[in-house]
Every structure is written in structure tokens, then in C-alpha cells.
Amino acid sequence: MNETGTVIVGIDVGGTNIEVGAVDDTNQVLARAKAPTPETGPDDVLGVILDLVHSLDSSPTAVGLGIPGVVHDGKALTVPNLVGWTDEVDLISPLSDALGVPVTLGNDANVGLLGEWTAGAARGGRNVLGLWMGTGVGGGLILDGRPYTGSRGAAGEIGHVVVMAGGALCSCGRRGCAEAYAGRRSMRGVATSMAEAGWETSLFDIRDAEEKTKLTSKVWSKALEKDDPLATKLFDTAVEMLGVALGSTVNLLDLDRVVVGGGLAEKLGQDLADRLHTAAKDWMLRPSPELTFTVSELGDDAGVIGAAALARATSITA
């Protein structure tokens, strides 16, 4: 391995996959491994994480971990997007005991933005929102040149900004959140109901041809490419509703950059960022010529590089 200085292992636990990478001082990913996220609770997730880290065959000085939940004071308070995680879980002790190095924990969306801010599309940004379009819709913030996680680690939840009072039911149990229109889990639910009600769509044929069980980003992007009427309608609504949330967020925070990531962003590229920018402008009080919307540069690596950057920053300040 041609590594520079110390190596830190970054771990990105998503609703679908767990990705790990050995990251060097220059934010290069030297080795990677990936496995499906177990749906059988925290113990099995920990087991998969350890197997993946061992498979990298690196000797990290620290480990950073991003998880899809609220993280405060080093603890995972809630992890709504992982099956079987109902109670507060201590991930740090078992991992640091097993690996013999310090472990730092963060929220996946914040960690993803930290990756883009350290080595990708958010570099140099002073007031940045990271918008992650996946199973749900996640968000992270850089404010005044520093990562911002709020009073109890729960800031940045752009997916749960209400865009329609009394609107569609969201996975959080409330109504009218942006995620209820733009999260893949919600979009799949609506697509299924609309197809049953007689809407023509190739979404489910594409899913079967791809041998997937869910409507993945790839399935959506293929359907959109073919101008599938149902996919186009649902995607237009997703962009419109995210536009409301983004425009309002820009009004509140006077951002200079929005970075769009997640599976759909990887498939659709800068075109998706441009469409969101156009949709958001309709709701902006003072559209700024300096505000840019950019698609993620690091793709799948954002979480891994960000988790490593989080661990590195913690080890420097500790």
C-alpha cells in the first residue's frame, strides 16, 4: 500500500449497505469493502462492521463512523432507518474494544457533507447545505465555516421540513415533510398505489429486469430516461417539494452552496442539482448570484472520507 502518514478507517452505515474504507492523510481511499446492512439489530451490524474493517488489512490509528440517526455526546440516540434499533445504542465501546483504537461517531448526512467539505464539492464553502437523496432525504450543514449539528445533534433535517401542511404521511409519522414526496421509500409506496390504480409505468418491469426487490436509484433513473409517465410525474413532484424546502432553508440561512448527493444524484448528475436550484429559486426571498447548487464529487466515498475526517479532527482536538 502506498500510504501517506496515518491511516484512518471511515465507516458509512446506510439503510442498504455498510461501506468501509482505509483513508490516508490526503483523503485518498486506499482500500474499500462493502456489505448489505443486516436487518437484525445492532449486534449483527457491529459484526458486519468488524468483518469489513478486518478485511481491509490496514492498521488504522482511529476509526470514524457515520450512522443514519441522531448522534449526541458520542451515542446513537435514535436510528429510525435501521431495522431493530429501538433503544439508545453504545457503538463506540464495543468497536474501540475490538479494534483497539479510538472511535468517533457522527450522523451519516453530516459525515457525508464533511467528506464533501474536506475533499469534494463543498470544499471552500462557508455556509453549505448537503442534501442526500436516498431511501430517505438527509441533510447536513456547514455554517460560518464549521460543521453545525445543533443543540442535540439533530440539525440539518431538510427531509423533515414541512412543505405541505397536512400533506402526505412521512416515515417520521408526521405529514407533509419533503421526504414524504422525495424519499425513495415514500416514492415507491406512491408508485405502487398509482400503478394499482391503473397508471401505466415501466418502473416495476425495470426493477424485475435489474433483479432488484426495491425501486433503486438505478431503476428510477432508467425509467426517467425512458420518459416513463408515472416516474416522471413522481420525480417532478419530488423536485418541486424539495424546491420548497430548499428555498425556505436558503431564506433562513443565507447559504452560499448546496451540495446534492445520494444514489439519485450519482445517476442523474449535475442536471438534478440544476433542477433543484431552479425549483428552489421560486421560493427565495433574495436569490443570490453567488449561491451554487453542485452535485456530489465523491459519490459513495463521501461517507467513508467524511467519517475518517471526523475521526481525524477528533484526534487532533482531543
> Which of 46, 99, 154, 172 is the binder for Zn ion (CB under 5 A)?
172
> Parallel, antiparallel, or unpaired for β 29-36 and 62-67?
unpaired
Query: Taking Cα atoms as reference points, which of 51, 75, 55 lies closest to residue 65?
Result: 75
- 170 belongs to the binding site for Zn ion (CB under 5 A): yes
CB of 177 to Zn ion, least distance (A): 3
Residue 186 or 294 having the CB closest to Zn ion: 186
186 vs 221 by CB, closer to Zn ion: 186
Farthest CA pair distance, the chain: 60
Task: Assess 177 for contact with Zn ion (CB under 5 A).
Answer: yes
Q: Does 275 bind Zn ion (CB under 5 A)?
A: no
When asked if residue 65 is in the footprint of Zn ion (CB under 5 A), the reply is: no
- By CB under 5 A, residue 70 contacts Zn ion: no
- Residue 174 C-beta: closest distance to Zn ion, Å: 5
Stretch that binds Zn ion, among 18-26, 65-73, 159-167, 279-287 (CB under 5 A): 159-167
Is the dihedral angle over the CA atoms 20, 271, 224, 167 positive or is it negative? Answer: positive
Our CB check for Zn ion shows the closer of 157 and 300 to be 157
**Cβ-contact 215, 245 below 8 angstroms:** no
Q: Does 92 bind Zn ion (CB under 5 A)?
A: no
Q: How far is the CB of 173 from Zn ion (least distance, A)?
A: 7
State the Cα–Cα distance between residues 122 and 159, nearest whole angstrom.
19
Q: Does residue 162 interact with Zn ion by CB under 5 A?
A: no
d(CA 31, CA 23): 8
- With beta carbons less than 8 A apart as the criterion, state whether 202 and 221 touch: no
**Part in contact with Zn ion (CB under 5 A); list of ranges 45-53, 95-103, 145-153, 158-166:** 158-166
Q: Is there binding between residue 188 and Zn ion (CB under 5 A)?
A: no
By beta-carbon proximity to Zn ion, the closer residue of 113 and 170 is: 170
**Is residue 160 near Zn ion by the rule CB under 5 A?**
yes
Residue with Cβ nearer Zn ion (154 or 172): 172
Point out which span in 49-57, 106-114, 177-185, 268-276 binds Zn ion (CB under 5 A).
177-185
Which residues make up the interface to Zn ion (CB under 5 A)? Answer: 160, 170, 172, 177
